[in-house]
Structure 1
Amino acid sequence: MEKEKIFVTARCPIRTTLELVGGKWKLLILQQLYDKVLRLSELKSLIPDISEKMLIQELKTLVDSGLVHRENFGEVPPRVEYSLTDKGKNIKPLIEEMLHFAELYEK
């Protein structure tokens, strides 16, 4: 059975996916959040190459897109936690396929 051809338009599935998770950091952030709730400092330590400014910016984008939930507890000192939304959890198969691709590529 032949797969249906994907036409590149403003709303094609590939472009939509790249808009949501493309870039250097978003998939790494989503991977770290997949099965746990993390604070900003915990994410920063798990992804040491990212600057705090970039991490905050990417988290805001992921929250705005509905993939990540941000919970502010309104405490002093501030306590904010990040977790994946149900939509965000749909990223797992994509991340697993990317890991598989990388393993095959490196052989």
Structure 2
Amino acid sequence: MFKRIIILGVLSLVLIALVLLRSHTAAPVNNPNTKSNDTSEYTTVEYKISEIKGNQYYGTSNDGTGIIFSTENIVSDKEIEVDDIVICYFEKGNLGKGLVKVKKK
């Protein structure tokens, strides 16, 4: 019985250590396939529009990552249709949630 308590305690400590390690590890923000330079204030990624539902646009990049954006982000005068290529502008260092604008290529 004493051995089981020791094993349970050691396994609990390992689990706690893994949880703490995971919570302190930052997820990568930058995508290496993005076009960016230090003089620009935005990071840009090209997406191919795969589907349009109402005012929601769904797109996929060359590396397989997807995006969903609404018409409020579009600054282009040209109408965007399925299979069009768009350029999405993100805030530098905030690729996941920093969508600023979308233009048709």
TM-score of the alignment, normalized to the shorter chain, above 0.5:
no
TM-score by length of 1: 0.28
- Decide which structure has greater strand share: 2
- Decide which structure has greater helix share: 1
